[in-house]
Structure formats: C-alpha cells, structure tokens
Structure 1
C-alpha cells in the first residue's frame, strides 16, 4: 500500500494559515498586524485567513447566553431577511397588547435602527399612528441628525381625534435637529380637492419632499373596526366591507393592499392625500414598525409587496410570518 507524498511546502502553508487564523480570531489582530508578524503582505494575510476557513481549520460558534435567549432572536431575524428580501429585521420579545404603552418596546428598537441608518442630509418621512408615536418617544439623544422630518399622510379630521402627528413631528424634529414639514390636509377628500392640494405650493411641497424621503418609518393598520382610521372616523363600516370584498388586509398612510402585496384599486386611492405606496416601495430605507396579532396579515401583505426594507416586530409576529411564508411556498 502506498501513500501520496506530501507536497513540499504544504505543511508550511497550513502552518501559516493556522497562525494567521489564530491571530485574527483568537487574539484580535488586524490583517495589517498579521502581515507584519508573519512577514507577508496584507493581501496575503487576508488570503491565509480565508484559506484556513475554506480548509476547515476554523470552526466558529456563536453562543447566546441563557439569560438573553428570550430577548435575542438572530436566527429568526436572518430567516426573515432571507425570505422577504429585507435589509434588516429586528425581532423583540415584547408583544404589543394594544394599549397606549404597548408599542414602546418596538419604538425603542426602531429608534436604535434610525440612529444607525439616518444621515445628516436625509429627509425622514413618517405616517401617523401609535407605532411612530412610540418611535418618537424613544428618541432620547441628539447624536443622530437629519435635514428634514416630513409628514407623509394627511391627518385633519372633523372630530376631536388625537392622531399624534404634532407630537411625532415636533419630537422627531427636535431630537434629530431637523426642519419639520407639516402636511396640513385631510387624509381623504374628493378627487378634485386632492389634485388642488397636490398643486398647492405648501401642501405640494410636503408631498413632493415626502415622496423623495431617503428614510421612511410607518406602521400598518388592519382592515377592521380596530384600525385608527375607523376610530378617527376617516372610514366607516360600508367602506370597510367594500375593502374586504376587494381582498384588502392592511393599509399604510390610508392606502390599502392585499395579502400578496398588490394594491387595492377603486375610488379610494384618488381621494387619498398621502405618499403613494410605490414611493414607499422605492425608498432605500423604508422602516416598518408594527406587531401584535391583529396586524399579522397587514404586516405580511406589506412585506409581500416590498413596502419595507427594514422590519421591527415582535417574536410572535415573526414566527407567524415565517410559517405563513412557508405555507404559501408549498
């Protein structure tokens, strides 16, 4: 029985790869440090580290401490990113209970995302609702800045209903040291009025700036009497019934869509004073902040329609989204 001879220099190659990998992974050395220590170029140091991985000389294990397992869900986040084509998913353990304070944990996580994503010359657009109010509440420092904060959907109503627009706009502008841009308009009006508002120098500027916002944050509403649109008398049961007939499951900025993400047509879009869903879909950093069982289908439809690049949600919703995605694929 014969054995293949060892290629001259092979053992030295392995030794160098092991040394480079040890210095990099265990001792925290940079590629420049490794190059200087081993007497090789910096690109060679990088190739040695990569070779150690490719040859199975390195095994990397990531362990979550027991006391953090209920709060950290990186595997689920990675699955959401892969299956829905997201830039980033953030999953928290706290599930919204529908109360005023129930969205605060989601708001804190979303505020942290904004801190990493916003640039000084960006415009931040937002739709009104409890989720974005929670984000505004969570903006505690002034280390993150942007140029403008703009309202993406009309909010004026004939009843004394608190949308949280003034608070969200004012707090975000103050904390982000940005210029606030208010959209002084109703959410729904007759088509002629909508056209006039879009051509108005003040209202038109807000809508134009909103369409081009580099970052947008929004929640979603279900098609039910529990939605903020129904509670604020923006829509009634007759409109809800008609929307359900057309397969609507959710809305963003008063614009409705189906479970597969397709946009619901009909007379309502022409009456809506808000940034269109296509603009949200085209935004480079569209941030969907929402959770709770009542909003599962609305969140799924938004993701299916590509309306979000970044998702902040709760663990129950995340698991439901993955199960629903797997079922729809079979």
Structure 2
C-alpha cells in the first residue's frame, strides 16, 4: 500500500475497485479495511475519494420525484441562480403539485441546514407543505424567525407564527415570531409597532438571516385572494396594475424587471424590506403554476431569490416570458 505511486494504471484501478467493493458492497468500515490491507484509515479514505473521482464508484441518489434536468441547466445558464429544482408534474392536480414541491424543498433545505443558521420564513400554503414534509435526524442550534407579519387569521396552521415554531421544533432550534399583522392601518401605526422592543428585535434578527424560505405571489391571484382584500383597496389594485406590478415577495410588489412598484403599501408593512432579500446569502423560493411565471421571473431579475424550487409549468412560463425581451 505504501508503494501505491509505483503501481501501473491497471494495478491502481484494481486496488481502487477492491477497496470500494469492501466499503460499499461488503459494508466494512474504513478502519476494518485499513487493518486488512495493513495501512492507515486516512489512506483508505483517500483511495475511496479517488475511486469516486475516477468514476470507478458512481453514487446515484434516487429522489422520489422526477426532475426536469435540461430545464434546470437552462435556468442556471440563463439566470444568476445558486441552484434550482424543477418538478415534472406529469399533469397531476395543483394540490398534489404543491405537496410534491414541499417534499422537494424539505429535502433540499435539510441538506443546507447547519448549526447556528438563522432561517427567515414567510407563510402560506407552499411553506405549509414544506414544513409538513420536513424530516431529519439533525438536532442543531438553528434559529427560525418570521420575516413578515401575519395575515391569515382564519388559517393559523399556515400562518407565520405556527410555521416558525414547527420548523424550529423539527431541528430542536429556537424560534422568534412577529406578533403583528403584515399590513396595518397607516404609517403612524406601523411606526408605533416597530418601536416595540420585541418586534424591533425580531425584525433586526430577520434582516440577519443566512437562509430565507419564501414563495412569490402573482398580482392577479393576490387581488382575488380574500386574505389580501382586507389590505389592498381598489385604488391600490389599480395603482399596482397600471404601474406594471407582476408579483410580490414579503408583501413588496415589483415589476417584470424586478423594480419595486410604489403603491404606498410599504408605509403599512410590518416586515423586512425588499432590499433585505438581496443581502441574504440564500433565498429559497418555492412556487408552482404557470400563473406565477411573471412573478418568478421578476424576482429572479431583481436578485431577490437565489435558489428556485418550481414545477415544470412555472418553469416553461418563465422561459417563455424571458424569451420575449
């Protein structure tokens, strides 16, 4: 074993294959293999790494869903994204698509969760399905924090407070919530609320998030959503549409180029600012349906998201709109 460098190529390949067989097929530990071959554990570790690099060993992870790899590569080539997952829906109903996207997101998130991460969270159906799908054997000191106030008082199970608490409990971490609505009556009420020490401290923590888990909403679906109707007047609806708003993230609206649309809503929002999303190292956005295509594209162009987990209908719509530029 100490004469490895003097072996010819065929002898090296045979040795690497033998070590890999003992480790992966016979399930021997690296220490046991080292003892059998009269070498060190660290040398066995290096040989196993080399076996993977030389494709003598290929590790295939079979995920329980089908991805559209060609579309994923197109997104990574075309846009500034860290990562992407595109679900092949094969025509399944939308509610099933949401569940599948939640499973993919939960699997992805568990892979990036490390100790001392500050995870900022929004709320809604997509985030609900993601939290429901979380499974882990990790017990790590993460901190989960709401990035915006609540709005769905009739559905507490998909609102921020409950979701943040449940996410944190899966990993044995801590959570901080914003006990305030997303939108308040006017600026003076907002200014008063964000001066509250607890809300102020929570928002400050949210701005320090290292990972943010969110979705995006389309303008049309938001206007027709009863939960938002309490906060968006008909005049505001007109202002948003006439100024070219296509979507929102964290309650902030933007156009197809990702530029913020001023509808005077920001004066009433309890949450982090739109520019704060651009500062987070990894904003993970989960969204489904062609209806959200423009909202997703605007968020990408604005630099508000880094990792994208979407379905094929949304992905194809994004590419179609982007081709029209």
Cα deviation, 1:216-253, whole Å, max 9, x if unaligned, reads: 01011111245686434232443222111111100111
Residue 313 (structure 1) aligned to one of 303, 310, 316: 310
- TM-superposed CA distance for 1:166, in Å, is 3.5
Partner of 2:3: none
- The correspondence for 1:170, drawn from 165, 174, 196, is 165
Find out whether 1:223 has 2:256 as its counterpart: no
Q: Which residue of 2 aligns with 1:296?
A: 293
- Cα pair distance change 1:182/1:17, threshold 3 Å: same
Contact persistence 1:142–1:175 (CA under 8 A): no
Distance 1:246 1:221, change over 3 A: same
Deviations 1:24-48 (A, max 9, x none): 899969xxxxxxxxxxxx9xx9xxx
Deviations along 1:261-301, whole A, 9 cap, x unmatched? 11112411122111112111111111000011221111111
Rate the CA distance shift 1:191–1:223 in 2: closer, same or farther, 3 A.
same
Q: CA RMSD in A?
A: 3.8
Q: 1:205 aligns with which of 201, 204, 224?
A: 201
1:183 counterpart SS class:
coil
Distance 1:228 1:118 in 2: 35
Task: Supply the distance in 2 between the matched residues of 1:20 and 1:88 (Cα, whole angstroms).
Answer: 36
SS in 2 for 1:120: coil
1:9 aligns to what?
A: none
CA contact (8 A) 2:149 2:160 kept: no
Q: State whether residues 156 and 184 of structure 1, in contact with CA within 8 Å, keep that contact through their aligned partners in structure 2.
A: no
Partner of 2:232 in structure 1?
A: 235
Q: Distance in 2 between matches of 1:216 and 1:284?
A: 9
Pair member with larger Rg:
1
Gaps (5+ residues) in structure 2?
1-7, 22-42
Q: Show structure 1 runs of 4+ deviating over 4 A.
A: 16-29, 95-98, 225-230
Runs of 5+ unmatched residues, structure 1: 1-15, 30-41, 50-57
Q: Is structure 2 residue 274 aligned with structure 1 residue 251?
A: no
Q: What is the CA-CA distance between 1:84 and the residue it aligns to?
A: 1.3
- 1:105 and 2:93 equivalent? no
Q: What are the equivalent positions in structure 2 for 1:126-141 lying under 5 Å apart?
A: 126-141=121-136
In 2, Cα distance between equivalents of 1:238 and 1:161: 27
- Is 1:86 the counterpart of 2:86 in the alignment? no
Decide whether aligned partners of structure 1 residues 96 and 171 sit closer, same or farther in structure 2, where only a CA change above 3 A counts: farther
Q: Which residue of 51, 66, 69 corresponds with 1:71?
A: 66
CA distance 1:156–1:92, shift in 2 (3 Å): closer
Q: TM-score, normalised by structure 2?
A: 0.76
Q: CA deviation at 1:314?
A: 0.6
Whole-Å Cα distance in 2 between the matches of residues 120 and 128 of structure 1?
23
Q: Deviations over 1:61-109 (max 9, x none)?
A: x9x9xx99x813222212212211111101111268454x541100111
Q: Deviations over 1:156-213 (max 9, x none)?
A: 57x6354432331221011021111110111112112222222221001111111111
Q: In the comparison of the two structures, how many residue pairs are matched?
A: 295
Structure 2 distance, partners of 1:268, 1:321, is: 26
Deviations 1:102-142 (A, max 9, x none): 41100111111111112110111111111111111001234
TM-score of the superposed pair, with normalisation by structure 1: 0.75
Change (3 A) 1:282 1:127: same
